[in-house]
Homo-oligomer: A and B are copies of this chain.
Amino acid sequence: MKLLEERIVKDGIVRDGGVLKVDNFLNHQIDVELLNEMGAEWKRLFSDAQINKILTIEASGIGIACIAAQHFGVPVVFAKKARTKNIDGETLSTTVHSFTHGRDFDVMVAKRFLTPGDRLLIVDDFLANGCALNGLIDLANQAGATVEGIAIAVEKGFQGGGDALRERGFKLESLAIVDSMDPKTGSIEFRS
């Protein structure tokens, strides 16, 4: 998606260690007009899919998922990172390794919000090695739900998580795939 690539070039910051900061428009400060264009593009890309629910993970997936959900006319469910007083009843849970935070954490969804009839679009802001997505796919599998597609804003192609998911047969649409980036020059190369 040209608009997102241009924004990454304009406002993204390349750091050592494979870190791409897009926090002034995507995951700390959020440009909701850009999110709206992204949602419209995913709707176009997944126009053939029968989707009844969007699944994401807190925190930075939630805004993207909610605005995308307006284009699909479906509710959002987000996996939570910690048990709170407000989750009771039966839950589905899995463990995710966070590249960003450098540690494992448990995520969970209340069972009643993921059911065998659900046809899910999984949405997230970033895809690096795919750990968060694998956790969400695991939750979907535990529920017996169907993953109709995966919608990602920025995929770090050089970390391989996206291609591994494509090889497993998932319809994965990343709006920008970064194939290489250079922290010295700040240059970013996108997959065409």
| A residues apposed to B, CB below 8 Å | 15, 17, 19, 21, 23-25, 27-33, 35-36, 58-60, 62-63, 65-67, 69-70, 73, 75-78, 80-82, 84-88, 100-102, 109-110, 112-113
Contacts and interface: CB of A to CB of B under 8 A. Distances in A.
A139 to B, nearest CB: 13
B19 A77 contact: no
- The quantity of this chain's copies bound in the complex is 2
A20 to B, nearest CB: 9
Given A59-B78, A62-B63, A66-B63, A87 B32 contact: no
Contacts of A84: 100-101
B101 A19 contact: no
A44 to B, nearest CB: 19
Contact of A70 (B62, B67, B75): B67
A126 to B, nearest CB: 9
Nearest to A30: B76
Classify the interface of chain A: helix, strand, loop or mixed: mixed
Contacts of A82: 101
Contacts of A21: 86, 88
A178 to B, nearest CB: 15
A140 to B, nearest CB: 15
Contacts of A17: 85
Contacts of A113: 24, 28-29
Contacts of A100: 84-86
What 8 pairs across the A-B complex have the smallest Cβ distances?
A58-B59, A63-B66, A30-B76, A62-B62, A59-B59, A32-B69, A29-B113, A84-B100
Given A23-B110, A70-B36, A70-B67, A28 B85 contact: no
B23 A87 contact: yes
Contacts of A25: 75
